[in-house]
Chain A
Amino acid sequence: MSTKDKNILDAGGKYPFKVSDEYFDNLAARIMEQIPEENQVPQADNARTETKVIDINARRNRQNMWIKALSIAACFTLVVLLSIKFFPTLSNEEEATAEMTAQEYTDDDYNEDLMYYSMADYGDVYSYLSGAE
C-alpha cells in the first residue's frame, strides 16, 4: 500500500457528497403527496387495496362467528341445565302413573277384557264351567 492510500484510509473522513437543506425541507411534503396516490391507485394496486378491505371484513366476520358460537354454546348450556333440573320430575310422574295403572288393573278387568276379545258372555262362561254342552 502506498503512503497516499494509507493516508486515505487512516484519515477517516468527510463524506464527499452534499445535498441542500431545501431537499429535506420539501421531502415530507413530497412523500405526503404520494401517499394519497398510493391509496387511490387506479389499476395495479387495486388488489392491494381490496386485500386491506378483505382483511377488515375477515376480522369482522371472525368476530361475528365467535359471537354466534358463544351464543349457541350459551343456549345449549341453558337447555342442558334446565333438562337436568326438570327431567327427574317428569320421570317420577311417569313412573307414578305407570304404578297407579298397574294397581287399578285388577283380575276382574282382565276377565272382562278376555271375554270381550273372545266374544263370549257370562252365559257361555257358566255353561263352560258347569260342563254343559
Chain B
Amino acid sequence: MVNGYSRQLYWQIHHLTQNHEDTDDVLQNTFIKAWKGIDNFNADSAISTWLYRIAYNESISFMKQKREMASIDDEDFIGQATFVADEYFDGDRTQHLLQEAISTLPAKQKQVFCMKYFDDLKYEEISETVGTSIGALKASYHIAVEKITKYLKGKE
C-alpha cells in the first residue's frame, strides 16, 4: 500500500502543507491510520479515495494544531508559507509568489486549485477523489483563481 500510493498522497498532502517536513509527518500518520483502520475500509469506494480522505483529514488536523500553536484564530486560514530557505523548493521568483498566494487560500480551495492547476486533473477525477460535486469544485477553483489574482496584483 505504501509503495503504491505514497507518491500520489505525498503531493496531495504537500498541496496543503507546502513543506516537506509537515508532509512527511502527515503522510506517515496517514498510512498508520489506514493500517489501524483497514477493517473499516468500505470496499465500495476505491482505496485511493479512502486514503485521500484520511490524508486530507490528517492534513487539516495537523495544520489546525500547528495554527493553534501559532495562536491564529481563523479556522480556514492555514497560514502564509515562506519558501526562501526551503531546500525542496525548486522554482523561480514567479513560482515563489504563486506559492505564497496559494498559501493564503483555505484548505479546500487550495487542494482543488492545486489538483486542477498543477496536477492537471479533470473535475470528474477531482470529484471522485475529493467527494465533492463538480459544480462545487468549479466554484472553489474560480474563487481560488480570483483570490490568487488579487494577491498577485497586490504584489506588483
Which A residues lie at the B interface, using CB under 8 A?
Answer: 1-2, 4-5, 8-9, 12-19, 23-24, 27-28, 30-31, 34-35, 38
The contact sample of 6 A-B pairs, CB cut-off 8 A, is: A8-B94, A16-B96, A17-B88, A23-B24, A28-B3, A30-B28
Which B residues lie at the A interface, using CB under 8 A?
Answer: 2-3, 6-7, 10-11, 14, 18, 20, 24, 27-28, 31-32, 35-36, 86, 88-92, 94-99, 114, 117-120, 145, 148-149, 152-153, 156
CB-CB under 8 A from A35, the residues of chain B are: 32, 35
Asked whether B118 lies within 8 Å of A13 as measured between CB atoms, the reply is yes
A8-B152, A9-B148 known; A15-B3 Cβ under 8 A: no
Mostly, the B contact residues are helix
CB-CB under 8 A from A34, the residues of chain B are: 28, 32
**Given the complex of chains A and B, what is the CA–CA distance between A118 and B22 in angstroms?**
112
A1-B149, A2-B153, A9-B148 known; A27-B6 Cβ under 8 A: yes
**Given the complex of chains A and B, what is the CA–CA distance between A31 and B29 in angstroms?**
9
A8-B94, A34-B28, A38-B32 known; A19-B99 Cβ under 8 A: no
Which of A2, A17, A31 contacts B28, CB < 8 Å? A31
**Given the complex of chains A and B, what is the CA–CA distance between A2 and B154 in angstroms?**
11
Asked whether A28 lies within 8 Å of B6 as measured between CB atoms, the reply is yes
